[in-house]
C-alpha cells in the first residue's frame, strides 16, 4: 500500500512573499549597546605583540585621571510619582528612549513592553514603514494559527484516505466470494429456517481499484473549508461590513475612489505622543538611589522628593491601602522585592516583571530583544532569626507570611518547565527590627511622612546590608527524562 507523506508546512510561495513584505530587522546590538543609562569610557585594547598599545593605554589612563569624564547625564531624567497607579511616570521622550534602550527599564503605558504606540499610530496612518514588536508578535501568532489549521486539514485527509482504502479492500474481498447475477438480486436459502433473505450488492463503479490511492485535492489559497475559520467580518463605523479602510473606497464597477481629505489631513498633522513610560517602584528607586540618574518629583507641587523620603514613600505604597509609617515592618513588600532586584541588577542581569509566568521576576542575559529569559525568580521571606520565634504571636505571623503549599510550588515549577525556564527560589533573611534601628541613624523629616523619623540617604545602605539572600535553583524531575 502506498502512503503519501504530506509535509505540514505552508507553501514556499507564501513564505517568500511574507519575507519580502517584512522590514529589515533593527540592529539591536547598536541600539542597546550600553547595559545601563551611564556613560562608560573603557581603555583601549591591549595587543601583546604591539608595544604601542601600551603607550596608548597609558596616555588614555593619564588623560582620564587628570580630566575625569562624567558618567552621569548632564541633566538628570525627570519623573513624577503617581499614587493612583503606584508607579513612577516618565513623560519626556528622550528620557523614555534612554531608559528603555539602556537597560530595558519600565514599560509603555499603551504597549506590551517597549513604548511603541507612536510608531504603531504612524504605521496605521501610512506615515511609517516597518513593524513594531506587538505587530510582529501578532503576525507570528496568526501564522502559527494558520499552520495548525493546515496541519489539521492534512491529518484529516490522510485519515479519510486510509479509511477509504480499508473500505475498498473489504469490498473487493467480498466481491470475489459472492457470485455475480444478472438481475442484481441474490436469492439465498432460508435464514434460521424461517424466511428468505435478499441482498443487493453495493454499487462499486466509482470505487478505486485495490492498492490504488486517489490523489488528494490541493488546499485552496484561502484555507480549507474543513476547518472553521475564526475570522469574522469587521464592521466599519457606519455599520456596514467591509475590509477596514477599503470599505466605501470603490465604486460598484470596481473603480477606485480618491482618499477623503480628512484621512490625508489626519496623516499629515502632527501626532502627539499619548504614551508615557511606567517605572515600577523597584526600578525607580534603583535609578534614583542605585545609579543616581533619576529625579522623582511630587506631582501636585513639582518638588523633588529626596532619596530618604522616596524610600519611606515606596514602603508605604507597597501596601494597599497605603500603610502609615508606624506600621512599617522589616518585611515590607517593597523592601524584600527591591533587595532582590538590586542584587540581580548588580550582577549584570536584566530584571523584568514576571507576572505573565506566575513569578516575581524574570532574568534576561542581555535583554528581551536578544533572547528569552533564562531564569524565573520567586521571592520568599525567611524568618530564621531568633526574634521571630520568641513569642507565639511572632511565630504565627512569620509562619503566615512564608506559608506556601507544595501544590502551588509544583504548579509554578510546571509552568516554568513548559516555557523552558529555570525556577530560582530566592530566600530573603528578614532581620529583627531592633538590629535595623541600632544600625541606622534617623533624622526627623516632615516631608511626606507626617513628622516621622526616616533614615538618612547615607544610612540606607546600612539598612539594606542587614538583609541576606539565599538562592536555590529548582528543577522539575521527570522519570522519563531522568533515568540515570
pLDDT per position as a tens digit, 73-112: 888 999 999 999 999 999 999 999 999 999 999 999 999 8
Q: Is 343 domain-assigned?
A: yes
CA distances from 333 to 214, 316, 379 (A): 67, 10, 10
pLDDT confidence band for 357 (50 / 70 / 90)? very high
Going by the DSSP 8-state scheme, the letter that residue 193 receives in this structure is T
Residue 15: per-residue pLDDT:
54
pLDDT confidence band for 443 (50 / 70 / 90)? very low
In a shared domain, residues 129 and 100: no
In a shared domain, residues 224 and 362: no
Q: Is 296 domain-assigned?
A: yes
Q: Is 187 domain-assigned?
A: no
Does residue 234 or residue 46 have the better pLDDT? Answer: 46
* pLDDT higher than threshold 70 for residue 208: no
DSSP secondary structure letters along 29-60: HHHT--SSSS---PPPPP-TT-THHHHHHHHH
Domain final position from 274, 291, 307:
274
Residue 22: per-residue pLDDT:
61
| Mean pLDDT of all residues in 454-462 | 66
| Mean pLDDT of all residues in 220-233 | 41
Task: Give percent of the chain with pLDDT exceeding 70.
Answer: 69
Q: Is 118 domain-assigned?
A: no
266 HSE (CA, 13 A, CB side):
11
In a shared domain, residues 236 and 362: no
Q: Cα–Cα distance between 3 and 213 in angstroms, integer?
A: 8
pLDDT confidence band for 16 (50 / 70 / 90)? low
In a shared domain, residues 454 and 388: yes
> Which of 145, 175, 372, 410 does the annotation list as catalytic?
372
Most confident of 22-26, 224-228, 265-269, 313-317: 313-317
Instruction: Give Cα 155 to chain centroid, integer Å.
Output: 32
What are the pLDDT digits (tens) for 43-52? 898 888 888 8
* pLDDT higher than threshold 50 for residue 54: yes
In a shared domain, residues 152 and 84: no
Q: Is the distance from CB of 79 to CB of 296 less than 8 angstroms?
A: yes
In a shared domain, residues 108 and 155: no
| Mean pLDDT of all residues in 153-169 | 91
Q: Is 482 domain-assigned?
A: no
400 burial type by CB count under 10 A (0-12 exposed, 13-18 middle, 19+ buried): exposed
In a shared domain, residues 52 and 138: no
Give Cβ neighbours of residue 392 (< 8 Å, ≥ 6 apart).
none
Give Cβ neighbours of residue 118 (< 8 Å, ≥ 6 apart).
271, 273, 275
Domain, as residue range, for 264: 232-274
In a shared domain, residues 312 and 324: yes
Radius of gyration of the CA atoms of the chain, in A: 35
Smallest Cα–Cα separation from 39: which of 70, 66, 11?
70
Q: Cα–Cα distance between 131 and 124 in angstroms, integer?
A: 11
Q: Is the distance from CB of 337 to CB of 280 less than 8 angstroms?
A: no
* pLDDT higher than threshold 80 for residue 72: yes
What are the pLDDT digits (tens) for 426-441? 999 999 887 666 555 4
> Which of 77, 364, 383, 427 does the annotation list as catalytic?
364
For the stretch 310-313, contacts whose Cβ atoms lie closer than 8 Å and that sit 24 or more positions apart, written own/partner, are 310/284, 310/285, 311/285, 311/454, 311/455, 311/460, 312/448, 312/449, 312/452, 312/454, 313/81, 313/448, 313/449
In a shared domain, residues 282 and 348: yes
Residue 396: per-residue pLDDT:
82
Q: Is 173 domain-assigned?
A: yes
Q: Cα–Cα distance between 211 and 273 in angstroms, integer?
A: 67
Does residue 173 or residue 201 have the better pLDDT? Answer: 173
213 burial type by CB count under 10 A (0-12 exposed, 13-18 middle, 19+ buried): middle
Q: Cα–Cα distance between 63 and 61 in angstroms, integer?
A: 5
| Mean pLDDT of all residues in 163-174 | 79
- Helical segments of 260-390, H only: 261-268, 281-285, 307-317, 333-346
In a shared domain, residues 283 and 375: yes
Residue 19: per-residue pLDDT:
53
Active site includes 289?
no
Active site includes 28?
no
Domain final position from 274, 303, 326:
274
Q: Cα–Cα distance between 59 and 425 in angstroms, integer?
A: 47
CA dihedral 339, 341, 345, 350 (to 10 degrees): 170
Q: Is 404 domain-assigned?
A: yes
Q: Which three cell numbers stand for residue 464?
A: 539594606
Residue 251: per-residue pLDDT:
40
> Which of 89, 421, 427, 467 does the annotation list as catalytic?
421
pLDDT confidence band for 125 (50 / 70 / 90)? confident
In a shared domain, residues 134 and 238: no
Q: Is 283 domain-assigned?
A: yes
468 C-beta neighbours (distance < 10 Å), count = 13
What are the pLDDT digits (tens) for 276-314? 999 999 999 999 999 999 999 998 888 999 999 999 999
In a shared domain, residues 399 and 417: yes
Residue 173: per-residue pLDDT:
64
> What's the number of domains the chain is made of?
4
Does residue 130 or residue 448 have the better pLDDT? Answer: 130
Residue 176: per-residue pLDDT:
59
Q: Cα–Cα distance between 84 and 310 in angstroms, integer?
A: 16
Most confident of 230-234, 255-259, 266-270, 394-398: 394-398
Q: What is the CATH number of the domain that holds 92?
A: 3.40.1350.10
Active site includes 319?
no
Q: Taken in order 325, 327, 333, 338, is the CA torsion positive or negative?
A: positive
Amino acid at each position: 500500500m502506498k502512503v503519501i507523506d504530506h509535509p505540514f508546512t505552508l507553501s514556499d510561495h507564501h513564505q517568500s512573499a511574507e519575507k519580502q513584505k517584512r522590514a529589515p530587522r533593527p540592529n539591536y546590538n547598536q541600539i542597546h549597546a550600553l547595559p545601563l543609562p551611564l556613560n562608560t569610557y573603557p581603555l583601549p585594547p591591549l595587543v601583546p605583540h604591539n608595544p604601542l598599545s601600551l603607550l596608548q593605554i597609558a596616555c588614555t589612563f593619564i588623560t582620564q585621571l587628570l580630566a575625569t569624564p562624567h558618567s552621569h547625564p548632564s541633566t538628570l531624567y525627570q519623573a513624577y510619582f503617581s499614587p493612583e497607579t503606584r508607579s513612577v511616570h516618565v513623560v519626556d521622550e528622550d528620557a523614555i528612549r534612554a531608559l528603555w534602550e539602556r537597560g530595558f527599564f519600565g514599560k509603555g503605558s499603551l504597549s506590551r513592553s517597549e513604548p511603541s504606540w507612536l510608531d504603531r499610530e504612524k504605521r496605521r496612518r501610512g506615515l511609517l514603514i516597518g513593524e513594531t514588536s506587538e505587530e510582529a508578535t501578532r503576525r507570528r501568532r496568526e501564522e502559527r494559527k494558520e499552520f495548525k489549521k493546515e496541519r489539521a486539514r492534512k491529518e484529516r485527509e490522510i485519515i479519510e484516505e486510509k479509511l477509504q482504502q480499508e473500505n475498498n479492500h473489504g469490498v473487493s474481498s467480498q466481491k470475489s466470494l459472492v457470485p455475480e447475477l444478472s438481475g442484481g438480486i441474490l436469492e439465498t436459502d432460508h435464514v434460521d429456517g424461517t424466511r428468505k433473505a435478499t441482498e443487493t450488492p453495493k454499487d462499486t463503479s466509482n470505487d478505486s481499484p485495490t492498492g490504488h490511492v486517489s490523489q488528494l485535492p490541493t488546499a485552496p489559497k484561502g484555507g480549507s473549508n474543513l476547518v472553521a475559520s475564526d475570522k469574522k467580518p469587521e464592521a466599519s463605523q457606519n455599520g456596514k461590513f467591509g475590509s477596514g479602510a477599503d470599505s466605501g473606497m470603490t465604486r460598484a464597477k470596481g473603480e477606485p475612489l480618491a482618499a477623503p481629505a480628512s484621512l490625508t489631513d489626519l496623516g499629515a498633522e502632527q501626532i502627539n505622543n499619548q504614551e508615557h513610560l511606567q517605572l515600577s517602584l523597584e526600578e525607580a528607586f534603583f535609578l534614583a538611589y542605585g545609579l543616581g540618574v533619576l529625579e522623582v518629583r511630587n506631582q501636585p507641587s513639582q518638588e523633588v522628593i529626596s532619596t530618604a523620603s522616596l524610600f519611606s514613600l515606596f514602603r508605604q505604597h507597597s501596601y494597599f491601602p497605603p500603610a502609615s509609617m508606624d506600621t512599617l515592618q522589616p518585611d515590607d513588600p517593597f523592601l524584600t522585592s527591591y533587595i532582590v532586584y538590586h542584587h540581580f541588577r548588580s550582577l549584570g542581569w536584566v530584571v523584568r516583571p514576571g507576572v505573565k509566568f506566575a513569578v516575581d521576576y524574570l532574568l534576561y542575559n542581555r535583554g528581551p530583544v536578544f533572547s528569552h529569559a533564562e531564569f524565573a525568580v520567586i521571592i520568599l521571606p525567611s524568618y530564621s532569626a531568633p526574634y521571630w520565634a520568641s513569642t507565639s504571636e511572632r511565630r504565627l505571623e512569620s509562619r503566615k507570611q512564608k506559608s506556601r503549599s507544595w501544590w502551588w510550588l509544583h504548579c509554578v515549577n510546571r509552568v516554568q518547565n513548559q516555557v523552558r525556564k529555570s525556577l530560582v527560589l530566592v530566600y530573603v533573611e528578614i532581620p529583627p527590627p531592633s538590629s535595623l534601628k541600632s544600625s541606622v541613624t534617623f533624622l526627623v523629616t516632615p516631608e511626606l511622612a507626617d513628622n516621622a523619623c526616616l533614615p538618612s540617604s547615607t544610612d540606607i545602605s546600612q539598612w539594606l546590608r542587614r538583609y541576606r539572600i539565599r538562592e536555590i535553583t529548582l528543577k522539575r524531575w521527570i522519570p522519563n527524562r531522568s533515568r540515570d
